[in-house]
Amino acid sequence: MLHEVSVSEAPGRLESFNPRDGSKLGEVPIADAAMVNAVFDRARRAQVGWAAMGVDRRNEILNRLRGVLLDRADEIGRVVSSENGKPPVEPIGLIAPVCETIKLHTALAKRLERGQKVSATFFIGSRARIFYEPLGVAGYILPWNFPFELGMKHMIPALAAGNAVVQKPSPVNPLIGDMMVNLFRDAGVPDGVVQMVHGYAETGSALIDAADSICFVGSTATGKKVMRRAAETLTPVVLELGGNDAAIVREDADLDLTARGLVNGTCYNAGQVCNGIERIYVPHQLVEPLVEKILSVVGELRQGWQTSGGDYDLGPIIWEPQLEIYEAHTADAIEKGATLVCGGAARRDGGGLYWPPTILTGMTHEMRMMREETFGPFLAIMGVGSDDEAIRLANDSQYGLAGSVWTRDVKAGEAIARRMRAGSVMVNNALQSGGCVTLPFGGDGDSGVGRAQGEQAYYHYVATKSVMTSPDSAEALWMPYAATTEDFFKGVSQVFNGRGIAERASGLVSLIRNRPRGAGR
């Protein structure tokens, strides 16, 4: 929500529509740079009180949010489904990871409350401790595919650390953004600590300029622009970007399990998932039997246009410009020799735009679908002759976000996972590691910078302060140096790094014999 800024001053209105039927849901004011700055000013004032509240009180409020989420599950499912198109079961299912994120980061904040004790190494008698202090106001620019889960989950570590947060949701999902503010408010988070601003590129740029840290989730191209803009103010960024995630099917795979898993990994959220499966490598002799089983599973899926209620599996294309990519990648694959087994064309029905599950075989790395992010419900299958070939092809990518291995031999699957260049790899599953909030989530290469999940996420929102307390005896090593100081330092090095007992004992003798006393006096 925008506060302390007259809505009449907004440069325009952002309208929200239901992607299933095109009906208008509401509208919000667009924030220009001045309005964004006013929101950040309010956030900075609120952050002072939020940080001063202390860990126990903040944790009490954040943990109260878990109860609010449970009580409001039906409302969350309804609002997210209406503005995002997905079946209500999916956002309701994502409440659990949000709650686990709260538990993880409130516990971490408590553990770090009095600092982290570390070894003082060879500084005998000294105390060394690391403290983690909030940066101020964290800024978020988040996408349209998971506006609720990512919108909630990514703000939690910053709030637990004592920061205020300002988020710009996707222009497609402004009402979900405002709902999130209300959820935090109802849990008892003070006004101004969690705020939303709405708009397009200008709003996002102003947010980057004003924030003390940035979390961006979206396309690689936009992520690079965010990083360049943040470099002007040396603002730290974490970027969760695109992927072209590979699935490797081994000869011993359970084909029934694998078929269902591949369909789920490509078609969940109608394929609009950054760590969704985008290319599948299958032993040549298994391609045909696996495709038959995949066709059977696909046939069970219910499309959103087939019902007016929430009883469906695949919703519409949330962001209509994706259609151009779907059509271009499909045409390119067919032109270069791929076989279209099913799907491959959009359907407009009831005011919504849908793309059915699409199976393509005979894929090669000359095809755009195997090199670029398609971000849709595509099962693009390429035959391979060995595990080694599959691993080589999986790693032949500018991306490095996620992957999966399908096999009855779990040990072999985990060994292959270690050889895949990806931030997250699952064995006999896909996607769900993104919901295991204790695991870091993110990728390398064009898939991003940093990690937006797990304990690592917390450290993005804090300033690290080292505090070391020395004993009075440290003065003996200050300038001007005593004649014996050089031999004393040699003894210290030998005691702590000697290559055996004899060398360490020799160092101890030198340390005792040459210890400076009363230097400078």
What is the full DSSP assignment across 159-193? HHTT-EEEEE--TT-HHHHHHHHHHHHHHTPPTTS
φ/ψ of residue 137, rounded to 5: -125, 120
Catalytic hit among 215, 274, 372, 373: 274
424 within 8 A of 456, measured Cβ to Cβ: no
C-beta separation of 176 from 169 below 8 A: yes
149, 240, 278, 373: which one is catalytic? 240
The torsion region of residue 215 among left (phi > 0), alpha (psi -120 to 50) and beta comes to beta
The Cα–Cα gap between 291 and 357 comes to: 13
274 is catalytic: yes
CA-based nearest residue to 255, from 228, 223, 282, 215: 282
Check if the beta carbon of residue 279 is closer than 8 Å to that of residue 397: no
CA 25/CA 173 separation, integer angstroms: 10
Q: Print burial letters for 441-460: b (CB count within 10 Å at least 16), e (below 16).
A: bbbebbbbbbbbbbbbbbeb
The closest alpha carbon to 338, from 295, 311, 299, 369, belongs to: 369
> What are the residue ranges of helices labelled H in 213-286?
220-231, 255-267
Tokens 């988020």 appear where? 167
To the query of whether residue 503 is one of the catalytic residues in this protein, the response is: no
What are the b/e assignments for 202-213, b being 16+ CB within 10 Å? ebbbbbbbbbbb
- Contact predicate 399/447, CB 8 Å: yes
Q: Side-chain half-sphere of 125: how many Cα atoms within 13 Å?
A: 6
The two three-digit tokens of residue 38, written as one number: 């006013």
Look-up: residue for tokens 């709650």?
99
Place of tokens 């599973």: 297
Instruction: Classify strands 213-217 and 137-141 as parallel, antiparallel or unpaired.
Output: parallel
Angle, vertex CA 408, rays to CA 402 and CA 413, nearest 5: 35
- Tokens encoding 447: 């898939």
Nearest residue to 404 (alpha-carbon basis) of 242, 258, 256:
258
Of the CA atoms within 13 Å of residue 467, those in its CB half-sphere come to: 11
Contact 137, 47 (CB under 8 A): yes
Contact 314, 270 (CB under 8 A): yes
DSSP string computed for 295-317? HHHHTTPPBGGG-SSS--SB---
- Catalytic positions: 240, 274
